[in-house]
């Protein structure tokens, strides 16, 4: 098994988590039907626009507010996420051992500021943000962009994401790709490639 030079992680659902119960509570408190917030905010065309830099996060929130109301939209957009401390612990251990650890996120123009607010910006060697690249996962072009910038062999990148289509996209370009459901998946993948 070849050597891994870079660990590439998704951000949301892997390193950073939002509380589904909090979203449900906002819907309930605002008299919205269950799932309305998610359905509105993550409508495919709207989501594609914000994660490829077509609109800003602020404009995205405005679009959501136009459908569900400003109170619910503000409550949703100001939720504070949590950091997966187990994942962060593994990331820090691997970086101390000399491995490059990077993020690849379908993010908005606010990702840099959000990482700084969570105090984890310095825990990653590089952040690849779809809103800056102009292409989002699972488009193969975003993975090829990462490989070009990093200047590494495709099979030397280990990628973990909580969305199966993104894992398939990374695998299609030749990265070692694994589905993430919990920190134990990261531990197992790292052990498979003798990183831990």
pLDDT reading at 1 higher than 80: no
Q: Could you tell me if 43 and 88 lie in one domain?
A: no
Rounded (5°) CA angle 62-166-55: 20
**Does the residue 167 lie in any domain?**
yes
The boundaries of the domain holding residue 157 are 6-17+83-192
pTM recorded for the entire structure: 0.96
pLDDT reading at 64 higher than 60: yes
Instruction: Report pLDDT for 161.
Output: 98
Q: What is the mean pLDDT of residues 54-71?
A: 97
184: helix, coil or strand? helix
**Does the residue 173 lie in any domain?**
yes
Cβ 69 vs Cβ 29: under 8 Å? no
Q: Could you tell me if 127 and 114 lie in one domain?
A: yes
Q: Could you tell me if 47 and 115 lie in one domain?
A: no
Mind listing the pLDDT tens digit for each residue in 85-101? 999 999 999 999 999 99
The tally of domains found in the chain comes to 2
Q: Could you tell me if 94 and 33 lie in one domain?
A: no
Q: What is the mean pLDDT of residues 7-33?
A: 96
Cβ 3 vs Cβ 192: under 8 Å? no
Q: Could you tell me if 60 and 124 lie in one domain?
A: no
* Measured distance CA(89)–CA(121) in Å, rounded: 14
Q: What is the mean pLDDT of residues 139-153?
A: 98
Q: What is the mean pLDDT of residues 51-75?
A: 97
Give the alpha-carbon dihedral of 168, 169, 173, 177, to 10 degrees: -50
Q: Could you tell me if 45 and 126 lie in one domain?
A: no
Instruction: Report pLDDT for 2.
Output: 60
Q: Could you tell me if 109 and 133 lie in one domain?
A: yes
**Does the residue 1 lie in any domain?**
no
């Amino acid at each position: 098994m070849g050597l891994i030079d870079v660990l590439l992680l998704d951000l949301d659902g892997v390193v950073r988590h939002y509380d589904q119960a909090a979203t449900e509570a906002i819907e309930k408190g605002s008299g919205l039907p269950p799932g309305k917030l998610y359905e509105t905010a993550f409508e495919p065309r709207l989501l594609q626009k914000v994660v490829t830099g077509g609109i800003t996060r602020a404009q995205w929130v405005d679009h959501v507010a136009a459908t569900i109301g400003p109170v619910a939209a503000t409550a949703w957009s100001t939720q504070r996420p949590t950091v997966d401390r187990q994942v962060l612990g593994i990331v820090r251990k691997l970086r101390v051992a000399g491995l490059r650890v990077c993020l690849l996120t379908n993010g908005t123009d606010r990702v840099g500021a959000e990482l700084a607010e969570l105090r984890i910006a310095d825990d990653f060697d590089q952040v690849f943000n779809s809103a800056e690249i102009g292409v989002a996962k699972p488009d193969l072009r975003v993975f090829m962009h990462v490989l070009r910038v990093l200047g590494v062999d495709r099979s030397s990148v280990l990628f973990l994401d909580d969305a199966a289509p993104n894992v398939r996209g990374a695998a299609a370009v030749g990265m070692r790709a694994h589905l993430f459901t919990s920190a134990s998946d990261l531990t197992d993948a790292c052990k498979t490639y003798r990183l831990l």
